[in-house]
Chain A
């Protein structure tokens, strides 16, 4: 019953989105208020029915209804409840349903919280949003129906891929999609602005919270994915430049650029057509990411079911959405009002540099991701592009960006003086140089690159703190005044400080991890030990244990340093009989600055086990920094300016002499 109700709800949602996408563009301008009211209701209705469908599928999973093909293929009665639920999106059909659910969620949010949006803009935005929803709902219903029944239901299901049975991965896709799909709002706003030929500070103020929210969620989603790969794949890798990772990373980079260029539109009414282009590009990259993961054109460690027919459908959607958006851009953008001029050295100038470098960085990732495809097309060679490529292209582009970051954050709008700006930052600059030189001294001149990057990390953190000190005029006014300034400074400013400093922490983490990680693999019998970077690891015992839906061999390890015990770690090799698959659960000890990481490998049949032991200095900093960036985004999102939205007045004042 639930499955049929779900199917029906999905089709209803499809027709609602059809109405939602037609009405705003079919009605006359005189009935703007009525049209906006209708579209708002449609957006809410779409959410309601997709939520019902999603609820039905979840119900089928939780009750292990194996007459639903998807449940039979991906679930099992013995699976813990949380993985029965996360199994809903641990497969192609279910994850597409989550995709449209989140899309509808964003649409409904604009309908609910957008009541001080001008009617016409709101109707257009939701209309475009409805079209995106329509396209994906057709995709789900026509090619990926999650509710298909089996005539002859099996007694038990196939089980979920065990490496997906992990709390981190249970919440990774929802966050990732909140990010990916959230950028659809940037797309809808961009296209709506092109249709009306109006881009102004008000528009930017409206679009920025959605971009910011999507960006924060995507940041968290990518971080979760990286941490998950680290502790489940069993060899301590945290970023692979895998096509699917790149698929989420490219929208993140371009979304970061969009976030910053929207600031320029909001504050200075400049970079308008560029911002719109970024809005279209960010969502296009999200769509292309979806295409990459689901079409099977690129081989990756975590692709879903690969089906060229689905690929063709998504490609058609990209063609319509991005192609339509870009065509509209080509026609309308030239007539958009050109923005206020600014000097090369100014906050706008800094943000332009940020945008240029970020887009260039995204382009290198894009080329790295698609190069194998091009090679594949030209000949019969299958190649993959690895880290050396990215070290040579992506990193050199990021370095000037990071160097300029603290400077950009303190530049004045419109016009500034570079020498003066730099002198404002002289203390953090000296301190970072000192860090670099001191490290160079410690390493006796070796590892100059490491010293440079750690100096750079210090520059990002100290430079951000200096920006805060400058804002509060610490030292030049009384402490009382500074405290008052601290209270009145907008939250968005604190968001900037936190996010930029977070970037520094991540840079430090990546550097330490890349330069100093050590590892050792040895065959050990119980009682034997090995030595790595001053740590002593001893295999205490190996025993069989039983989990809820797996059998495992658990190795217990004692770790000591200089004879002093510091940790007891457990690593398990789990065998899932339902899927005949084996996974490794690593034993990890972290002190938030470095990780010790041990995994139990294959037995040699003669009483010894392969043991991998890793020392990962600075590894946690990578994720702490990334989460700080997301936190900075959320703090900025809480800013009153963004929540209240722009007053109607400024919208009319800024009406552009377009068309």
Chain B
């Protein structure tokens, strides 16, 4: 009987290791999924070029919108840029830009050089809003529904194929919602 107490540490250790091993197998990268179906975190950002209006979470209500996170220093943003331009030209839905961890002058120069697909652009110089949104890198694109809730997050550059296969069915069903 007294020997049993010495087994206690071992008895506590086994489930711990089993638990840790189990949790290793879980997908920890999908963390930002906590934001899915939640309201967009509140933010209010100054405009990139000062003259126009900035971007706040209140702007993302009323219509199904796209929130695209970009930066002048990101190569993937340049890659997805034509897709965004086509969407803007087709006037499919309002596209809002979040200029993330960028310098004001660089952001302005980048948009001037590449043309802007965005209805509005907010400058998130410190990256704070990006953290609230769970941004892990640029580019990243969020689909936000009429009530201002985040419905989908796509990390990485958009391509026509991704748009066709992932975004279009989702947008169709979102537009069908009351």
Residues of chain A having any CB pair with chain B under 8 Å: 273, 277, 280-281, 284, 288, 291, 295-297, 299, 306, 308, 311-312, 315, 318-319, 322-323, 326-327, 329-330, 333-334, 370, 373-374, 376-377, 380-382, 575, 580-582, 601-602, 604-606
Does any Cβ of A come within 8 Å of B167's Cβ? Answer: no
In the assembled complex, B24 has its CB within 8 A of some CB on chain A: yes
Whole-angstrom distance between the alpha carbons of A374 and B30 in the complex?
17
Is there an interface contact between B47 and A329, defined as CB atoms closer than 8 Å? no
The total number of A-B Cβ pairs within 8 Å is 86
* Interchain CB contact (< 8 A) of B19 among A329, A374, A602: A374
Provide the bound-state CA to CA distance between A212 and B103, in Å: 49
From B10, B20, B21, B71, give the contact of A330 (CB < 8 A).
B10
The majority secondary structure among interface residues of chain A is: helix
What's the Cα separation between A575 and B127 when bound, in Å? 12
- Taking A308-B24, A582-B126 as given, write out 15 further A-B residue pairs in contact, using a Cβ cutoff of 8 Å, ordered by the A residue number: A273-B6, A291-B20, A297-B24, A299-B28, A318-B20, A322-B13, A330-B7, A333-B6, A370-B19, A373-B19, A373-B20, A374-B19, A376-B23, A377-B19, A602-B126
B9 touches A277 (CB 8 A): yes
- Determine if B73 and A580 form an interchain contact, defined as CB atoms under 8 angstroms apart: yes
**With A318-B17, A382-B34 as contacts: A601 and B9 at CB distance below 8 Å:** no
Q: Residue-by-residue, is B1-26 near A (CB-CB < 8 Å gives 1, otherwise 0)?
A: 01100110110011001011111111
With A and B bound together, what is the CA distance between A507 and B50 in angstroms?
48
Is the C-beta of B90 less than 8 angstroms from some C-beta in chain A? no
Query: Can you name the residue of chain A whose Cβ is closest to the Cβ of B8?
Result: A330
Q: Taking the complex as formed, is B63 at the interface, i.e. its CB lies under 8 A from any CB of chain A?
A: no
Is B31's beta carbon under 8 Å from chain A?
A: yes
In contact, B23 and A581 (Cβ under 8 angstroms): no
**When the two chains form the complex, which single residue of B10, B24, B126 contacts A329, counting CB atoms closer than 8 Å?**
B10
A380 to B71, CA, bound (A): 32
* B73 contacts A281, C-beta separation under 8 Å: no
Do the beta carbons of B28 and A297 come within 8 Å of each other?
yes
The reply on B101 being an interface residue by CB < 8 A is: yes
State the 6 A-B residue pairs at the shortest beta-carbon distance, nearest first: A326-B10, A605-B50, A333-B6, A580-B73, A334-B3, A330-B7
Residues of chain B within 8 A (CB-CB) of A334 are: 2-3, 6
Checking A273, A327, A381 against B10 with a beta-carbon cut-off of 8 angstroms, the contacting residue is: A327
Q: Given known contacts A297-B28, A299-B28, is B6 in contact with A373 (CB within 8 Å)?
A: no
A281 to B9, CA, bound (A): 9
Give Cα A435–Cα B91 distance, bound, in whole angstroms: 71
Docked pose: A374 CA to B104 CA in angstroms = 43
Is A382 a contact of B31 with CB atoms below 8 Å? yes
Contact A315 B28 (CB under 8 A): no
One of B34, B47, B101 near A605 (C-beta < 8 A): B47
A-B contacts, 29 listed (Cβ < 8 Å): A281-B9, A291-B20, A295-B24, A296-B28, A297-B26, A308-B25, A312-B24, A315-B24, A319-B17, A322-B13, A326-B10, A329-B6, A330-B3, A330-B9, A333-B6, A373-B23, A376-B23, A377-B19, A377-B22, A377-B26, A382-B33, A580-B101, A582-B101, A582-B126, A602-B46, A602-B125, A602-B126, A605-B47, A605-B104
Contact string, B97-110, partner A, CB cutoff 8 A, digits 1/0? Answer: 00001111000000
Of residues 106 through 131 on chain B, the ones whose CB sits less than 8 Å from some CB of chain A are 125-127
Specify which chain A residues have a CB less than 8 angstroms from the CB of B10 in the assembled complex: 323, 326-327, 329-330
B104 to chain A, nearest CB (A): 7
Contact A323 B19 (CB under 8 A): no
Q: Closest CB of chain A to B95's CB: distance in Å?
A: 22
Q: Report whether B23 and A582 are in contact in the complex, using a CB–CB cutoff of 8 Å.
A: no
Report how far A642 CA is from B34 CA in the complex, Å.
Answer: 54
Measured CB to CB, the closest approach of chain A to B30, in angstroms, equals 9
Given the known A-B contacts A297-B23, A334-B3, A582-B101, are A315 and B126 also in contact in the complex, defined by CB atoms under 8 Å? no
Closest CB in chain A relative to B113 CB, distance in Å:
18
User: B22: which A residues are within 8 A, CB to CB?
Assistant: 377
A612 to B46 CA separation, bound complex (whole angstroms): 18
Chain B hits for A322, CB < 8 A: 13
| CB closest residue in chain B, given A606 | B50
With A326-B10, A333-B6, A334-B6: A376-B26 Cβ-Cβ less than 8 Å? yes
Contact partner of A326 among B9, B101, B103, B125, CB < 8 A?
Answer: B9
A310 CB to closest chain B CB, in angstroms? 10
In the complex, what distance in Å separates the CA atom of A602 from the CA atom of B24?
39
A291, chain B: closest CB distance, angstroms: 7
A580 proximity list for chain B (CB < 8 A): 71, 73, 101-102
Closest to A580 in B: B73
Q: Report the bound CA distance from A109 to B102 in whole Å.
A: 50
Nearest-Cβ distance from residue B155 to partner chain A, whole angstroms:
15
Q: Cβ of A297: which chain B residues have Cβ within 8 Å of it? A: 20, 23-24, 26, 28
B58-96 Cβ-contact flags toward A at 8 Å (1 or 0): 000000000000010100000000000000000000000
Q: Give chain A residues whose Cβ lies under 8 Å from the Cβ of B50.
A: 605-606
Q: Which residues of A contact B24 (CB under 8 A)?
A: 295, 297, 308, 311-312, 315
Contact, CB under 8 Å: B28 / A306: yes
Q: Chain B residues near A604 (CB, 8 Å)? A: 46
Question: Which residues of chain A come closer than 8 Å to B46, judged between CB atoms?
Answer: 602, 604-605
Given contacts A297-B28, A382-B34, A580-B71, contact A323 B6 (CB under 8 A): no
Residues of B within 8 A of A376 (CB): 23, 26
Identify which of residues 124-164 in chain B touch chain A, using a CB-to-CB cut-off of 8 Å.
Answer: 125-127
Shortest beta-carbon distance, A637 to chain B, in Å?
Answer: 29
What residues on B are CB-neighbors of A606 within 8 Å?
A: 50
Central interface residue in A280, A308, A312, A330, by most chain B CB within 10 Å: A330
**A377 — which chain B residues lie within 8 A by C-beta?**
19, 22-23, 26
Q: How far is the CA of A377 from the CA of B13 in the complex (A)?
A: 17
Chain B's nearest CB lies how many Å from the CB of A377?
Answer: 6
Whole-angstrom CA separation of A529 from B46 in the bound complex? 23
For residue A296, which residues in chain B have a CB less than 8 angstroms away from its CB?
A: 28
B111 to chain A, nearest CB (A): 15
With most chain B CB atoms within 10 A of its CB, the pick from A296, A306, A319 is: A319
Shortest Cβ distance from residue A74 to the other chain B in the assembled complex, whole angstroms:
18
Q: Which residues from A are CB-within-8-Å of B13? A: 284, 322-323, 326
Q: Which single residue of chain B is at the shortest CB-CB distance from A284?
A: B13
A308 to B25 Cα, complex, angstroms = 8
Q: Give the distance in Å from the alpha carbon of A291 to the alpha carbon of B2 in the complex.
A: 33
Minimum Cβ distance to chain A for residue B43 (Å): 12
> Shortest beta-carbon distance, B91 to chain A, in Å?
29
Q: Which residues of B contact A280 (CB under 8 A)?
A: 9
User: Chain B's nearest CB lies how many Å from the CB of A561?
Assistant: 30
Residues of B within 8 A of A315 (CB): 17, 20-21, 24
Residue of chain A at shortest CB distance from B14: A323
Q: How far is the CA of A595 from the CA of B20 in the complex (A)?
A: 41
B73 neighbours in A (Cβ, 8 Å): 580
A271: min CB distance to chain B, Å? 14
Report chain B residues within 8 Å CB of A318. 17, 20
Report how far A504 CA is from B107 CA in the complex, Å: 52
